[in-house]
Structure 1
């Protein structure tokens, strides 16, 4: 994995010193909260409902065991013993004290981490495929290019005050596991007819108030021009993106306003002067970065079938089916540690679990871990012969729930329990649904389904692209929940459609049950929930959900009361 060079160390040290002085001035009332706000946001510090929250960057989701142990240390010393892994492949600590935040950043710097670019109107933490470097369908490892983008964007003087926040995702495989279509810029590796490596460039994806699937503005960009072309996109956005209305400031709104063809023309015109500039990536520079991500010293191992060896252990078999993924090197597998145990807020991990996951990484996976945008943790390089031992250990620590990709693998933002922007709570809804469907055989029968919950329209829970999406809304001062179905991420990304009026919190488990009943009744062989929805449309699901009131769970609002 990437190691800080002298410039990284210097930048982070100087930023911490600067921030420490800013915090002291705030504590001394030499800075007002309004003056301090942009300064703290530049360092990933938010004010939430009850306390400050610090968001720490995990570039492209890659962690060392040492860095994970630092998270455990921070959770114990500065927080309440846990952290929350997010859909941006970051981690958040929700109960930090302002005066201690410079010390937290200093501790992070000791393991080559920071909180830069986790907030504010800048280029945010670049995200990627959690199976980068090991996926069987990978064309090239995207992490070196993600690292190049990180270095280029950090404190870029032209892009530190953009019209709005800006998110970039990069995928290097045939299957899109980085959700590139819902990012401001989505990059996916492709080969042209000559076999050369380059990128397909999508722009203008996003969720929030105006969910949009990104548009392709270039089918093939030679990889040496990655930075120059992305800079051309950024220049056009920085110049023409709206600054008078933050709800219309994202690049997707600009693209919609001028049209894809005109936007592409402007980018190509801007690119003319950048194309062969000093920012063109040389082979030497790329080889330097790629060297940080060279493959581990894999052993020559026989490919085995762990399920066959433990055929009498159904629980282990379920875990293998859902939590273990194929690896490009024979004899190895990638393992997903589930942070979705029923009764625990999705994405949360205790300090003890973080230390434990770091230990697992050291003993089973070359000391590395990955954070997924589905809020789980991956050990990417586990020998197949050690899967049973790993499962036994993970199970004892509550990290082996065999539900990856199933209904209870819920993506969920912190919602109204923490976030000052939220209209409604998310965590209690996730908990109630998980408890209602906490039966592994039933979950396996339902099959792949993504349930995503957001506490407000900002869509941190990615509800727009959930097979079932739940959005918390405020209705006359009460918390209600709007439901959409048919959303999808990946190669066939789609925005879900709202089924009708919103529901009370108490009604939500029954609503999900009714949606599933329609699916189980109408599905064809091997058809996923999202496939059935896209084939039949919303109508049969809506009709059944609203056919009769949900008993003992509040009321169903009328058709004229859309939230």
Structure 2
């Protein structure tokens, strides 16, 4: 029989609030397996074991805690075992999905490369990676089929030309996105290169910052196109002109996508060029000290900022970490030029840079060598990678432009504003990724070829971005694409499952075509199979062109129309 509390009886004591694992509030006792592993041994220390033990004794000798955790601190992930279909991704344990080969991520802060460095990466690709090479949307280059026995030699070759894999993955400061045209663009507001290089030199590989709650992404740009997708990074600096203080940076904090997307917010500050490094350090240390560590899926900066708000975050930054107040500052102006830098553009010194598209970032060791050959043939030794899976060749003489463009065309690299080639991105996909459900790279290439054939002669008012992701995460930024595709299995009416995508439409970051950044719209039940992808995108584009208002962008149209127009 249910007992009724007597009058005046004391209430049941409140259940104690669970710790969030914030070091400065809750102490540093590890609250999950990831935190235990990091506390027991810093991820940076695994390099010695790789060089002295694992590379000599082979894959079977690797400690599982190193293999599935600390290896990431040096840019290494096991890749997916071939032949495992997407339907089994969530059903198998990680060790059942993984192969005895690795993806190796080469860290390229700011996207700055020399032709010598590119040749080195190409040589490693051909010698140790079966010719694989992918450009990521983080300005890195990823290689595949890497065996543990060859990792020390790969490090030796990379470091000999000034490259590294240090903290290319893991719960650390990942690669620093930088404007691909830093120091060369004629319309640049400020060159962020000194800040990027100082942060990299002083803090990448620093043990005091090598145990963050989770990954931590930085972006810095001095270009008015805002070309580093600052809205979706943990900490970003965007060039802005203060009416009294001149050119400095606007500070943004707390952006990220994945399964819980959130845009970064301005702290309302003006950061002087000489304050960027210490301000970055303060924001990073806040994440280290106050970031949530109890639950792995809540351990990103965006969750802390959502709870604190920008005002509290700024106050903590200034009072506890900087020791001084930052100046108030204006928001950066809306960009009026595209940030992917595709095409031929004049540099500040009178020479030209040429931005080219690799379809969905797919390259090869051979192609990287050919790009280096072509650049050097015309006197250039400098290149840049971009946050849009593009490559820029710098320092081209005006008289050589046509010949260089023709040479790039011969390599399959387009410097034109193609219908879809330019604005298509794809993640690694099921070919190598243990999280993926569908194939992405070849699917993207096939879709681009079909769409450019079917829509030849169509005059699009602006590029329509098409982003393909192999799983529910967002490595290819699907929520910020005009048409974003999230990999999943699609079940037909007769119960047959096929690889396909959930569709997001109308997303985008701040640009000349939108008033502000916005997430894509989803329509209940709107899914498309891989086989029907080109048909669906073609239909959607034709509906947009037929139904748009004057000067209306695809994004505005996609958010305005009824669901039926998008199905």
Check whether TM > 0.5.
yes
Counterpart check, 1:510 vs 2:532: no
Say which of 488, 498, 503 aligns to 2:522: 498
Match of residue 530 from structure 1:
555
Say which of 215, 219, 224 aligns to 1:169: 219
**What is the rounded CA distance, in whole Å, between the counterparts of 1:159 and 1:410 in structure 2?**
35
Residues 323-334 of structure 1 mapped to structure 2, 5 A cutoff = 323-329=342-348, 331-334=350-353
SS of 2:394's equivalent in the other structure is strand
SS of 1:54's equivalent in the other structure is strand
In structure 2, do the counterparts of structure 1 residues 348 and 133 end up closer, same or farther at CA, with 3 Å as the change threshold?
same
**What is the rounded CA distance, in whole Å, between the counterparts of 1:131 and 1:394 in structure 2?**
19
Match of residue 339 from structure 1:
358
Query: Which deviates more, 213-222 or 363-372?
Result: 363-372
**What is the rounded CA distance, in whole Å, between the counterparts of 2:341 and 2:550 in structure 1?**
19
8 Å contact from structure 2 (residues 347, 353) kept in 1: no
TM-score w.r.t. the length of structure 1 is 0.79
**What is the rounded CA distance, in whole Å, between the counterparts of 1:224 and 1:203 in structure 2?**
19
Question: How far is 1:527 from its partner?
Answer: 4.2
Question: How far is 1:17 from its partner?
Answer: 5.4
Residues 346-425 of structure 1 mapped to structure 2, 5 A cutoff = 346-364=360-378, 366-400=380-414, 402-403=416-417, 406=420, 409-425=423-439
Match of residue 76 from structure 2:
45
**What is the rounded CA distance, in whole Å, between the counterparts of 2:382 and 2:130 in structure 1?**
25
SS of 1:125's equivalent in the other structure is strand
Question: How far is 1:335 from its partner?
Answer: 0.7
Extract unaligned runs of 5+ from structure 1. 1-12, 277-320, 341-345, 547-563
Match of residue 539 from structure 1:
561
Question: How far is 1:543 from its partner?
Answer: 0.9
**What is the rounded CA distance, in whole Å, between the counterparts of 1:97 and 1:65 in structure 2?**
25
In structure 2, do the counterparts of structure 1 residues 79 and 28 end up closer, same or farther at CA, with 3 Å as the change threshold?
closer
Q: Deviations over 1:372-426 (max 9, x none)?
A: 1211210122222211111222222222363457455411011112100113222
**What is the rounded CA distance, in whole Å, between the counterparts of 2:274 and 2:131 in structure 1?**
44
Q: Which has the higher strand share?
A: 2
SS of 2:197's equivalent in the other structure is helix
Match of residue 453 from structure 1:
468
8 Å contact from structure 1 (residues 62, 369) kept in 2: yes
8 Å contact from structure 1 (residues 217, 264) kept in 2: yes
SS of 1:445's equivalent in the other structure is coil
**What is the rounded CA distance, in whole Å, between the counterparts of 1:58 and 1:272 in structure 2?**
28
Question: How far is 1:195 from its partner?
Answer: 4.0
**What is the rounded CA distance, in whole Å, between the counterparts of 2:143 and 2:546 in structure 1?**
43
Question: How far is 1:160 from its partner?
Answer: 0.5
Which has the greater radius of gyration? 2
Query: Which deviates more, 448-457 or 427-436?
Result: 427-436
**What is the rounded CA distance, in whole Å, between the counterparts of 2:458 and 2:122 in structure 1?**
32
Say which of 133, 140, 152 aligns to 1:102: 152
Say which of 489, 497, 520 aligns to 2:545: 520
Match of residue 132 from structure 1:
182
Match of residue 231 from structure 1:
281
**What is the rounded CA distance, in whole Å, between the counterparts of 1:159 and 1:127 in structure 2?**
18
Match of residue 488 from structure 1:
508
Question: How far is 1:356 from its partner?
Answer: 1.5
Residues 200-211 of structure 1 mapped to structure 2, 5 A cutoff = 200-211=250-261
SS of 1:417's equivalent in the other structure is coil
SS of 1:95's equivalent in the other structure is strand
Question: How far is 1:14 from its partner?
Answer: 10
Q: Deviations over 1:258-288 (max 9, x none)?
A: 2222222222222343789xxxxxxxxxxxx
8 Å contact from structure 1 (residues 49, 419) kept in 2: yes
8 Å contact from structure 2 (residues 76, 104) kept in 1: yes
Question: How far is 1:480 from its partner?
Answer: 3.1
Match of residue 559 from structure 1:
none
Say which of 248, 266, 269 aligns to 1:198: 248
8 Å contact from structure 1 (residues 134, 329) kept in 2: yes
Q: Deviations over 1:228-251 (max 9, x none)?
A: 222222222222211121111100
8 Å contact from structure 2 (residues 171, 214) kept in 1: yes
Extract unaligned runs of 5+ from structure 2. 1-43, 82-100, 327-339, 492-496
**What is the rounded CA distance, in whole Å, between the counterparts of 2:399 and 2:66 in structure 1?**
57
**What is the rounded CA distance, in whole Å, between the counterparts of 2:498 and 2:208 in structure 1?**
43
Counterpart check, 1:465 vs 2:485: no
SS of 2:250's equivalent in the other structure is strand
Counterpart check, 1:74 vs 2:99: no
TM-score w.r.t. the length of structure 2 is 0.79
Counterpart check, 1:142 vs 2:166: no
In structure 2, do the counterparts of structure 1 residues 401 and 140 end up closer, same or farther at CA, with 3 Å as the change threshold?
closer
8 Å contact from structure 2 (residues 126, 366) kept in 1: no
8 Å contact from structure 1 (residues 70, 108) kept in 2: yes
Match of residue 279 from structure 1:
none
Question: How far is 1:498 from its partner?
Answer: 1.4
8 Å contact from structure 1 (residues 361, 367) kept in 2: yes
Match of residue 287 from structure 1:
none
Match of residue 306 from structure 1:
none
Q: Deviations over 1:210-232 (max 9, x none)?
A: 11110001330122222222222
**What is the rounded CA distance, in whole Å, between the counterparts of 1:369 and 1:236 in structure 2?**
34
Residues 212-223 of structure 1 mapped to structure 2, 5 A cutoff = 212-223=262-273
SS of 1:175's equivalent in the other structure is coil
8 Å contact from structure 2 (residues 343, 415) kept in 1: no
Query: Which deviates more, 57-66 or 212-221?
Result: 212-221
Question: How far is 1:47 from its partner?
Answer: 0.5
Question: How far is 1:474 from its partner?
Answer: 4.6
Match of residue 283 from structure 1:
none
In structure 2, do the counterparts of structure 1 residues 29 and 49 end up closer, same or farther at CA, with 3 Å as the change threshold?
closer
**What is the rounded CA distance, in whole Å, between the counterparts of 2:422 and 2:222 in structure 1?**
28
Match of residue 317 from structure 1:
none
Number of matched pairs? 481
In structure 2, do the counterparts of structure 1 residues 103 and 404 end up closer, same or farther at CA, with 3 Å as the change threshold?
farther
Question: How far is 1:15 from its partner?
Answer: 8.6
